[in-house]
Amino acid sequence: MEMNDMVLISVDDHISEPPDMFKNHLSAKDLEDAPRFVTDAQGKAAWEYQGMYLPSVGLNAVVGRPMNEYGMEPTALDQLRAGVYDVHARVEDMDVNGIAASVNFGSVFDFAGGRLHRAKDKDRALVHLRAYNDWHKDEWCDAYPARFIPCGILPTWNMDACVEEIHRLAKKGFKAVSVSDAPTVQGLPSIHNEYWEPFWKAIVDTDLTICCHIGAGNPAPHASEETPIEAWITTMPMSIAYGAADWLQLQALHKYPSLRIALSEGGIGWVPYFLERSDFSNWRHKAWTNSVFQDLKPSEMFRRHFLNCFIDDQFGLQNIEYIGEDNIAYETDYPHSDTLWPEVPEHLYKAIRHLTDAQIDKITHQNAMRWFNFPLFELGRKEDLTVGALRQRAEAAGVDTSPKSSGGDRPVEEGTTRPITSGDLMRMFSQHDKRKKESA
């Protein structure tokens, strides 16, 4: 298979929502107390909601910047590529990157709606959560139905409302929901508590896919505030293993054999050892632990229920027999700092070309179509959705991919030569929050 013949579905991209996202879905009081997009005296953008100040994060939207301008400062929309927040520009950026379709996670409420769990008035939070889901489907995904796989967020703090929303989303045509892999972080019962039984049943009844995205639950630990930030960034994807180990022990996986769970932005290189260790631990300890695995191996259960999603993972792609060629899907992570836009096809093809055409098709789009119940080729012609066809469209449209310099605050003073640390980033945010309070 040639690079231009590939069809690419990304199962993990992101949106920095536009300021007017709620205007067509709320009115009167519901719109009045909805999240509000604000810009402070220093030109930094954020959302305000129920007394919470929710800044944008630079590494979440640095696509198209020169690498030396990467950072985590809150940023204004005019510092970003339009594809970060405008759906029409997003599709152009997908075309130039050869991406046929995409799952998009939100930012205003975080990847899985975690910020709403901190809201004081949960009744209002429920109203605004539903409005977010309506915007995501009606305005973002339905603008180009063949190009987006709708993924909603849920009010898991209220299980009755959560089940109701699951069924509502399924009727609207959603294919997935994003939830925290560690709900105890949000003050909820653990996934092993009977509290979640209605959730599992509703997910199975509606045939939706569960997405557990890194950063939405178990935090990526860092050793100290003096730890260079690169160490922290290195371990971020691997934090998914904490959640994976916990979810693999779910009784619900034995009760509901059709449950599908995508480990979003977790990579794949760690999976072979994880499965080996899971089986070893079960063998050595199931005699005394009352393990849910007595006959079936954990590795076998993992391959039934979990989809592993990667951005750039050459080791994993050299060892897919230990992961499962039916359990791997690609993601671009646009517009975050890990994204390889606009050169995804070039990077991916170098890492995948040793595989058979059948394996390449699975990893690039067929697994995504199957795990997310997304009939891509019923919505668009395959010959129009290849890397080559999409890039020809982008070239005809004159999509500009040149780096956009935007400056912005830096975590440390210019000229500082020591490595930027985790503490530098934390102080940067605390200083910005202080300036915001002083200007209020």
pTM (2 decimals)?
0.94
| Contact call for residues 327 and 367 (beta carbons, < 8 A) | yes
Token pair recorded at residue 220? 């990526």
Mean pLDDT across the stretch 324-343? 96
Q: For residues 246 and 274, what is the distance between their CA atoms, to the nearest angstrom?
A: 12
Query: What would the DSSP string read from start to end of 127-174?
Result: HHHHHHHHHIIIIIITTSTTTEE-EEE--TTSHHHHHHHHHHHHHHT-
pLDDT at 432: 53
Dihedral over Cα of 273, 279, 283, 285: its sign: positive
Q: How many CA atoms lie within 13 A of 293 on its CB side?
A: 20
Evaluate if residue 100 carries a pLDDT over 50.
Answer: yes
Dihedral over Cα of 18, 213, 333, 377: its sign: negative
CA–CA distance from 32 to each of 26, 28, 95, 120, 138 (Å)? Answer: 9, 6, 37, 16, 21
- Note the residue count of the chain: 440
Q: For residues 297 and 301, what is the distance between their CA atoms, to the nearest angstrom?
A: 7
- Among 112, 324, 304, 85, CA closest to 215: 112
Evaluate if residue 275 carries a pLDDT over 70.
Answer: yes
Token pair recorded at residue 381? 């012609």
Evaluate if residue 10 carries a pLDDT over 90.
Answer: yes
**C-beta atoms surrounding 190 within 10 Å:** 11
Q: For residues 217 and 202, what is the distance between their CA atoms, to the nearest angstrom?
A: 22
**What confidence tens digit (pLDDT) does each residue in 387-431 have?**
999 999 999 999 999 988 776 666 666 667 788 887 877 776 665
Q: For residues 134 and 169, what is the distance between their CA atoms, to the nearest angstrom?
A: 9
pLDDT at 391: 98
CA–CA distance from 62 to each of 14, 102, 132, 408 (Å)? Answer: 12, 18, 23, 11
Mean pLDDT across the stretch 123-147? 98
| Contact call for residues 151 and 175 (beta carbons, < 8 A) | yes
**What confidence tens digit (pLDDT) does each residue in 33-59 have?**
999 999 877 777 889 999 998 876 655
pLDDT at 439: 45
pLDDT at 422: 76
- Tell which wins on pLDDT, 69 or 194: 194
Q: For residues 331 and 64, what is the distance between their CA atoms, to the nearest angstrom?
A: 17
pLDDT at 79: 82
CATH class of 3-439: alpha beta
- Among 222, 304, 294, 306, CA closest to 270: 306
| Contact call for residues 37 and 107 (beta carbons, < 8 A) | no
- Among 279, 356, 348, CA closest to 321: 356
Evaluate if residue 440 carries a pLDDT over 60.
Answer: no
Domain ranges of the chain: 3-439
Three-state DSSP at 438 gives helix
Residue 255 sits at φ, ψ, to 5 deg, of -80, -35
